[in-house]
Amino acid sequence: MYQALYRKYRPRFFRDVAGQEHITSVLSKEVAEKTFGHAYLFTGSRGIGKTTCAKILAKAVNCPFEKEGEPCGECEICRGIDDGSLLDITEMDAASNRNIDDIRDLRSEANFTPAVAKYRVYIIDEAHMLTKEAANALLKIMEEPPEHVIFILATTEVHRLPATILSRCMRFDYRRMPPEVIAERVKFVCKMEHIDIDDEGAMLIGKLADGGMRDALSLLDICRSSDETVTAETVSRCAGLAGREYLFELTDKIAEQNISEVLGAVDKLYEGSADVSRICDELINHFRNLMIVSCTKEASAILKVMPNEMLRIEKQAKEFSQPEIFHAVSVLQDTLVKMSKSASKRLEFELALVKLCSPALNQSQEALLARIEKLEKEVVLLKARGAAPAVQNLPAMEVVPKAEPAPVYEEIPAGPAFSVQSASSEPEFQSWEDVVELIKGKNRMLYSFLEGSKAYLVGGRVLIDSPNSFFIDYMQKNDDSREVIKNAITEVCGTRYGIGPYKKTEKKTEDDPLAILAKRAAENGIGGL
């Protein structure tokens, strides 16, 4: 009978377990030095080696020919544990045997000495599924276990286990395996099985496995039956992704706000039997990639993608502002949750895409910020085209509730008016670049809001003009950041100044771009500005 790849290539020694060296090295050392405990807890996501390591540990502590913490794999005990015939090793599924009676049977059996092995080992998988009563019954024997008994608990939801059990176990947290580690293991299995696979296909399997080796080998099992050579296209088809090109296509259409073509692309994918939930999830990950590229210069070290794909992501990230990316992620995540409860997943997905293509349909804070950002870009374009001289001092738009004063993030002392008539009429604060450079070394988050800013000295206060539209809101909510700025000014200049946001006002003319901007805002459904 054919044996699934994940079972056939299940590691039988600590040295074969990929991606968990921080755990296997400790376990093998404990076995070699005979310092292993009576209770272990292995926690982590599915398919990353918890039960596999539990079986290897059971072999290692019982193997008469153990060497440097590794079982021999050839003796009667090792073979008996591998094929499940050794009765001294019990593997119990807590999802099926979760009641107090099951644990009482285990306690009664544990008092008997092993028949063949040196230790009785109880591997309890999905331990978080035990009932409260069963967990309390297990706790009793874990407090004072017989010398010949070892417990190994495995769980994907460690937070559901009672603290009393956690405190009696040696805990090991298993990590999700990086895509490149999974890809290497997949290529090794393909070599042993004489399966042709290219690097892109192996890497895509690694990424789709979400850190789990079992899922990766299960997907490889499907792919090997599909084509003679496993490629990225083969993997995409077998995983129901319909290729990755659709991610860039959908994102381009969203950037163009082309509703017709976006819905047409979804219809084409649906006809190809693509899973819309999986498409939505992949699109969220794609916008995450765009977010990382837009927020950091070290994106290539974070994103595990092919070089040619990285270039496309970098190019596409320039088509969106950060608020637009955040808005897209928020809408798609909400949609993914709704899909699990909806009778029509396709409808929920289409509604989300229409919202992204028609910002006026969405009144959320993220949507408003994205729309304001777009209008500000249009102002910049007007400025570049020389629409009117007054554009030189055009202020950035702020969302201010009606009949409320403009936002201020510190008390304004007696002195000149807070609103200044013109940037050119006030002295620019000459030491501001030195202040910003000093802040860069102290607070990177604050520096990101001050990068490219200017400052003006008005009536004993330094008024800050930042190009970042979120600057004022951020400063209002962060007392520490305000103090950092004032201390930096004092350190550079030797004088303690107050601080505030710089406000610019201009006289409106017939061709005032503010009038143009207000008109554009009304056309986009933004009211109350």
Decide: 114 and 82 in contact? Cβ < 8 Å.
no
Residue 358 CA to residue 433 CA, distance in Å, equals 40
Residue 115 CA to residue 460 CA, distance in Å, equals 87
Residue 121 bridge partners (DSSP):
89, 150
DSSP string, 94-124: TTTS-SHHHHHHHHHHHTSPPSSSSSEEEEE
Query: What pLDDT sits at residue 369?
Result: 66
Residue 529 CA to residue 370 CA, distance in Å, equals 14
- CA geometry: angle at 270 spanning 265 and 275, to 5°? 115
Parallel/antiparallel/unpaired status of strands 419-420 and 454-458: unpaired
Query: What pLDDT sits at residue 333?
Result: 92
Residue 182 corresponds to which amino acid? I
Q: Can you give the pTM of this predicted structure? A: 0.58
Query: What pLDDT sits at residue 482?
Result: 85
Query: What pLDDT sits at residue 518?
Result: 66
Query: What pLDDT sits at residue 527?
Result: 55
Query: What pLDDT sits at residue 235?
Result: 84
**Run means of pLDDT, 10 residues per run, the chain, 529 residues:** 85 90 93 92 90 93 92 91 89 84 88 90 91 88 90 92 91 90 92 90 85 90 85 79 76 90 89 85 91 86 73 89 88 91 90 84 62 69 57 44 43 37 61 87 82 84 85 80 87 84 59 65 59
Query: What pLDDT sits at residue 397?
Result: 44
- What's the CATH number for 5-173? 3.40.50.300
Parallel/antiparallel/unpaired status of strands 454-458 and 461-465: antiparallel
In the chain, what's the furthest Cα-to-Cα distance?
97
Query: What pLDDT sits at residue 206?
Result: 87
Reading the block at residue 225, the tokens are 């039956």
| Cα distances (Å, whole numbers) of residue 239 to 275, 311, 324, 417 | 9, 24, 29, 64
Decide: 202 and 187 in contact? Cβ < 8 Å.
yes
Reading the block at residue 89, the tokens are 């090793």
* CATH number of 419-504, picked from 3.30.300.180, 3.40.50.2300, 1.10.10.410, 3.40.109.10: 3.30.300.180
Query: What pLDDT sits at residue 513?
Result: 63
State whether CATH 1.10.8.60 applies to domain 179-238: yes
- What's the CATH number for 245-357? 1.20.272.10
Domain ranges of the chain: 5-173, 179-238, 245-357, 419-504
Residue 24 CA to residue 13 CA, distance in Å, equals 9
Residue 475 CA to residue 478 CA, distance in Å, equals 5
